Amino acid sequence: MLSVKGLHAKVEQIDILKGLDIEIKPGEVHAIMGPNGSGKSTLGNVLAGRPGYEATSGTITYKGHDLLEMDTEERAREGLFLAFQYPVEIPGVSNMEFLKVSLDARRKHAGLPELSAVDFMKLARETSKRVDLPASFLKRGVNEGFSGGEKKRNELMQMMLLEPDLCILDETDSGLDIDALQLVADGVNSLRDGKRSFIVVTHYQRLLDYIVPDHVHVLAGGRIVKSGDKSLALELEAKGYAWLEEEVA
């Protein structure tokens, strides 16, 4: 699914990633943990092709394509999805319209016809129910006046609707209460089908109680300094990151 080798990347002239390697197979869930400023969010943004996040060396292969050669929107249409830490508002553009054009773009790329308005409405309503957002949210502007939790559920709704191949969750748990966390985790788990892969970027072990990862990586100083299974997350929870940083040093 995704193979990252020796990735260096910089943001605003500052080197953030310094030789990162990661290998993700179809169906796997990888958790990326690490202290503040270690480059966790940068990784997600480089993968998604956010302007200003520049890969300076290394390779990224996604579904056999050279990811760094693809435009931001091409990556999305090819099934790479980033759930934002701070989803932005687009006033006046209804959620419904936004979902429809996004889905149309993805379907068109896959050679599928656009969904009819009726089929789409039905699908959108069902999906909003799955993330426990009232159908009235479909008519509101994208994230316009949504609470933090509603924005995150809206991200989840987009993810469910677009059925991506690789989902990157960028600190989706931040700012969520325990009920909302459970709901988001249930949503993610319902999308695990043995083929779809996930990168779950998080600060805390808590989310991983609900979304159980196959692999856990610790990112520090722009590189992966330790990898393990889910028990690594528990160890981090107990001991913090300092011991790892010392170990690396």
Partner 1 sequence: MTEQVESLIKRDYAAGFHSSIESDTLPPGLDESVVRFISEKKGEPEWLLEWRLKAFRAWQEMEEPTWAHVHYPEIDFQSVSYFSSPKSMADKPKSLDEVDPELIATYEKLGIPLHEQEMLAGVAVDAVFDSVSVVTTFRAKLEEAGVIFCPISEAVHRCPELVKKYLGSVVPQKDNYYAALNSAVFSDGSFVYIPKGVRCPMELSTYFRINEMNTGQFERTLIIAEEGSHVSYLEGCTAPMRDENQLHAAVVELVALDNATIKYSTVQNWYPGNAEGKGGIYNFVTKRGICHTNAKISWTQVETGSAVTWKYPSCILKGDNSVGEFYSVALTNNFQQADTGTKMIHLGKNTKSTIIAKGISAGQSNSAYRGLVRFNPGADGARNFTQCDSLLIGDRCGAHTFPYIESRNPTAVVEHEATTSKVSDDQMFLCQQRGLDAEKAISMIVNGFCREVFKELPMEFAVEAGKLLEVSLEGSVG
Binding site for partner 1 (CB under 8 A): 48-52, 71-73, 76-77, 81-82, 84, 87-88, 90-93, 97-98, 101-102, 105-106, 109, 141-142, 158, 162
CB of 81 to partner 1, least distance (A): 8
CB of 246 to partner 1, least distance (A): 37
Q: Which residue has the tokens 């799955």?
A: 130
CB-nearer residue toward partner 1: 5 or 50: 50
Q: Which residue has the tokens 């302007």?
A: 51
CB-nearer residue toward partner 1: 14 or 238: 14
Give the whole-angstrom CA distance, residue 174 versus residue 182. Answer: 13
CB of 92 to partner 1, least distance (A): 3
Rg for the chain, CA atoms, rounded = 18
Phi and psi, residue 245, nearest 5°: -60, -40
CB-nearer residue toward partner 1: 97 or 214: 97
CB-nearer residue toward partner 1: 89 or 119: 89
CB of 72 to partner 1, least distance (A): 4
- Distance spanning both ends of the chain, measured CA to CA: 32
Residues contacting residue 198 through CB under 8 Å, at least 6 positions apart: 28, 29, 30, 166, 167, 168, 169, 188, 192, 211
